Each structure stands twice: as structure tokens, then as C-alpha cells.
Structure 1
Amino acid sequence: MAVAEGGDERRIRADEPTGVLHPANLSRYDARWIDPDPRVADVVDQYWAVRWSLDDGEMIDQAIIDLPAINLTIEAGDVPAGLLVTGLHERAWFRRITGTGDVFAIRLRPAGLAVLSSLRPEDLVNQTIPITAELDAGLHELMTRAAGERTAESRSRAVNDAIADRMRQNPPQASHLLANRVLDELRARAYNRTSTPLAERFGISERTIQRALSQTLGIGPKQVARRIRLQEAAQAIAIQDDDRLTELAVQLGYSDQAHLTSDFRATTGTTPGAYRRILRQLTASAEHR
């Protein structure tokens, strides 16, 4: 068996984009990133792990604006199921945290799902589904194998090797690797309004880009860019001490503050101003806990 590389571990900071709408909660979860092996970089974007132990009767309804990515998780404790796949959500989604538990997760690159599974992205939209042998025997075998390891670090090594094996048997398709590159480009240009059009940047047609993202994520480039902008907006609102929403809207490519406010409310159910007030209340409560 090949020796796995990667595996560097670091805590997830509250001031970095994660999609967690109340980032101060990250300190409650013992949340960590674990870097994937470079061998699986075309399939895995990031491993992450969380562990929590809340007081009796305590409950956190955690809201999340995730990146355009599909997540596979191994879970234990007070959780919905032991093995889960979470698809893209059209709006912010919620996870209720109670009791104790731990999660090891694989955030896939766009090309990843087709390498590991027969599931299609459109099968998973707005859903978190238990991974069973009946749902997908190959994916269930891979996840069960990793779940047999006792720590997040050993799970990451097991998954690295298992995915590297799958990639040799079922390499990523060229169009799916294009989707990886397009997503990287959209993430890199979140604050750049004057970027070269994607079709020109990659020297291909808009239709080719649309098809690559649709095959791997189930959505097109406009929806991908919107999701990235909203995650960046939520993060900026959470860490900034002032109310520079007009400036933020311009930086993220919105026509004006009203457009940002409307988009944020449609996705999260609250306005940026109300979200900031909630964050301040949570911070004050945590300081007095």
C-alpha cells in the first residue's frame, strides 16, 4: 500500500470562509481541516472534522451556506445516521446539534462524485441521504472502510488510499476536470468584477462550461458564482465591525446594496443587518456563559 501524503491538520478559524453562518460556534465544535493527499486532489477539495459535547438540554440550530460541493460524512453520537451524503442546497440549510458527537467529512471537488459513485448531483439537491449498500454499493464500501478507523487522521489516510485506487480504476473525465478549474476560477475572482469572461479565460464555449458544471454539480456558472458570493458576504458581515454593506455589495459584484440584501434574505431568511444583530447577541451571550 502506498504511503499517504498530506494529512496536515489545523483548526478552522472563525474568520475564514466556511459557510457556517454563526462562525463563533466553531469554537464549540472542535472543528478542524485535514489536507487531502495530493494524489486525490482532483476528487477531494478538503477533509474536515468536528467533535462536540453540549450540556444537557442545550441545542444549536446551525445554519450553513455551503460551497457548491457535495459532502460525504462519517458520523457518530447524536446524529441522523452513520454515513451520509449531502447534496447542494438552493438556500441555507440547518443542522441541529445536540448532545455529543463527531463527524469526519469529505468535501468533494466537482469531478469527485462520478469517480466514487453512480449517484447524480440532481439526485441529491436539497437533501442529506444515508449512504447504504442499496443506494450505492461502491460508495458504501468505501465509507464503511474509512469508518472502521478510529481517528480523523487515520480516516483521512484510509480515504486517501481508497480514493487513489478508485481513480486508477475510474479516472476523472476531462469535462469534469474542467468543472474543477471553473469552480477554482470563480472562487478566486469572487471580489473581482473586471475578470475576463469564463469562456474567453478557458478558450471554450459558454455551453461547454455550462455542461461541465451541470454534469458535476447540477447547476450552472451563474448559480455557482452566486453561492460563492453569498458565502463571502456572510463571512464579511460576521467579521467586520461596521456596516459597510454598500461597499461590500460593490466588491462582490452586486449592482447595489439592495440587490445584496435581497439575495441574502432569499437564501438565509434574514437580512444582512438582522444577521449582524443576531451575531452580536450570540457573542454577548457567549461572553456571559
Structure 2
Amino acid sequence: MVIRDERELAGAWTRFQRHTVAAPSPDLARYVERYWMVSWHYEKPYRQLIVPYPNVHLTFTGGAATVRGVSSRHQHRVLAGDGSVFGVVFRPGGFRPFLGAPVSTLTDRSVPARAVFPAEPPARPDAVTVERYLRTRLPEPDPRAAQAAAVVADIAATPGLHRVDMVARTAGLTVRGLQRLFAEYVGIGPKWVIRRYRLHEVTERLASGGPVDWAGLAADLGYADQAHLVRDFTKMFGEPPTWYAARY
């Protein structure tokens, strides 16, 4: 029998962490989705579950800046003592103009920010100082980046899109063209992005607190049966849906 840390159940983690978010300035909004900051205090180390999205992150902590590519699966990070992180969430496709190379080269990898940005990272990162830092390498607008962002947004907003060929047809691309766009600009394939956002539908149903018709939900999301849905969810989130629901 697995005994879970009581600090991860029923939202208890919110007693130990503080989260804030901020929107980017207009000149950066085509590239940046949002800024976030989290601070924590744990007398005993805490194993934090991090679920993936198709976004590149730039994080600042302990005087260091790191670019984190899209993660293909869940991760865990250990939080201990007092600490904080300031982060930049780039829009899907939005980091490619800064990087100047396929975003897939960063998938499941982290690199020092100095590999992309020439300036010294801010000593006290906040929205103002980080935006000044980003502008040291502000690129020209890239229509392909905007196209990638639009396709991902369409996947996120349209539950009925659950196959790659459907997304390609809606975007006016061939399947191969869609795959190339995602490798270059998003950093992970369209099939993964579709699965990630359809599984987000599961978390929304769980958050509602009502009963879930698992067989019906699996069919709605394009799964052959409930077992396939649960297996995909567990692989992506690191635990079955009922365990995930217990966190919140």
C-alpha cells in the first residue's frame, strides 16, 4: 500500500506555496503567454508533481537563468526550505524566433539561458527586469510562429479535434507539413499536443466534482475505451485520474 504525503492532498500544498502570475507587455505578447512566480517554505522536503504543456519556459532562481524545453512527460522536483522561482512561459511557437533553431532540439532538455540571451540575467527578477532582459534579443515577428500558436490554440479550444489529420485539415496543411511545423516551432509532435489537451478535458471534469462517465468521456475524447484513456492519463500525469483528483 502506497502512503501519500498529506501535503499533496485536497489542496494542502497551497499552505506551503504562493503563486502569482502577470501578463506580458504588448510588444512581447506575441511571444510570451505569461509570467509566473512561486515561492515556498517546506521544513521537510516536498516532492512536487509538474505536469507538461507544449510551452518552453525560461526560469530564474538562485541567480541562474535556465531555458527548459517542452517536457514530453510529467516530472517531479523536490522543494525544500525557503525558495522561489520566477518563470516566463512562452507561447507555443513563441520561442523559435529567439532560439533561431528548431525548438525540438530542446525537447526534454534544459540549457543555460546564456546560450540564447546575451545579457546577464537580472539579479532580482520580476516582470520589469525580465522584460528588459528579453528585449536584448527581441526578434522580428515570424508568421510561422503565429501559425503554430494558432493551431495549438485551436486544439486546446476544440474537444472534437482528436486526430492529427483533422487538425491538419483544419489548419490547411498536410499531415507532414503539420508535423514539420510542430517540430520546428512547438518542440513536440501534434499527436502529443492533441493528447495533452484532450486529457486536460479529464482534469476539467474531475475539477467539477461531479460523477464522471468514464466510458462516455473516453468516447468523447477519441479513445477506444476507458482503459486506454486511463493509461494515457497515467503516463502523462504520473498517476491515475482518481489520484490526481485527490490533489485538488
TM-score computed with the length of structure 2 as normaliser: 0.81
Equivalent in the alignment of 2:168: 199
Equivalent in the alignment of 1:72: 58
Letter in 2 for 1:59: P
Equivalent in the alignment of 2:124: 149
Structure 2 unmatched runs, 5+: 1-7
Structure 1 residue 245: deviation in Å?
A: 2.7
Structure 1 residue 179: deviation in Å?
A: 0.7
Equivalent in the alignment of 2:81: 99
Equivalent in the alignment of 2:106: 124
Letter in 2 for 1:254: Y
Number of residue-to-residue matches in the alignment: 239
Distance in 2 (alpha carbons) for counterparts of 1:31 and 1:206: 39
Q: Could you list the per-position Cα deviations for residues 136-176 of structure 1 after superposition, in whole angstroms to 9, with x for gaps in the alignment?
A: 1x4252xx34x2335xxxx2123334445633xx3143222
Distance in 1 (alpha carbons) for counterparts of 2:72 and 2:196: 9
Structure 1 residue 64: deviation in Å?
A: 1.6
Question: Per the alignment, do residues 23 and 103 of structure 1 end up closer, same or farther by CA in structure 2, a change over 3 Å counting?
Answer: farther
Q: Matched residue of 1:219: which SS?
A: coil
Equivalent in the alignment of 2:97: 115
Structure 1 residue 99: deviation in Å?
A: 0.7
Structure 1 residue 72: deviation in Å?
A: 0.5
Structure 1 residue 120: deviation in Å?
A: 4.2
Structure 1 residue 73: deviation in Å?
A: 0.3
Q: Structure 1 residue 139 and structure 2 residue 127: aligned?
A: no
Equivalent in the alignment of 1:158: 129
Letter in 2 for 1:74: F
Distance in 1 (alpha carbons) for counterparts of 2:53 and 2:107: 13
Question: Per the alignment, do residues 26 and 100 of structure 1 end up closer, same or farther by CA in structure 2, a change over 3 Å counting?
Answer: same
On the 8 A contact 2:156/2:197 being kept in 1, the answer is yes
Structure 1 residue 264: deviation in Å?
A: 1.4
Distance in 2 (alpha carbons) for counterparts of 1:266 and 1:194: 18
Structure 1 residue 263: deviation in Å?
A: 0.7
**C-alpha RMSD of the superposition:** 2.9
Q: Structure 1 residue 34 and structure 2 residue 5: aligned?
A: no
Structure 1 residue 192: deviation in Å?
A: 3.1
Structure 1 residue 259: deviation in Å?
A: 1.5
Q: Structure 1 residue 270 and structure 2 residue 239: aligned?
A: yes
On the 8 A contact 1:113/1:119 being kept in 2, the answer is no
Distance in 1 (alpha carbons) for counterparts of 2:225 and 2:71: 25
Correspondence for 2:225 among 248, 253, 256: 256
Distance in 2 (alpha carbons) for counterparts of 1:111 and 1:194: 20
Distance in 2 (alpha carbons) for counterparts of 1:27 and 1:73: 23
On the 8 A contact 1:111/1:173 being kept in 2, the answer is no
Q: Matched residue of 1:197: which SS?
A: helix
Structure 1 residue 218: deviation in Å?
A: 2.7
Equivalent in the alignment of 2:148: 179
Question: Per the alignment, do residues 41 and 22 of structure 1 end up closer, same or farther by CA in structure 2, a change over 3 Å counting?
Answer: farther
Question: Per the alignment, do residues 254 and 52 of structure 1 end up closer, same or farther by CA in structure 2, a change over 3 Å counting?
Answer: same
State, as a whole percentage, how many aligned pairs show the same letter.
27
Distance in 1 (alpha carbons) for counterparts of 2:104 and 2:96: 12
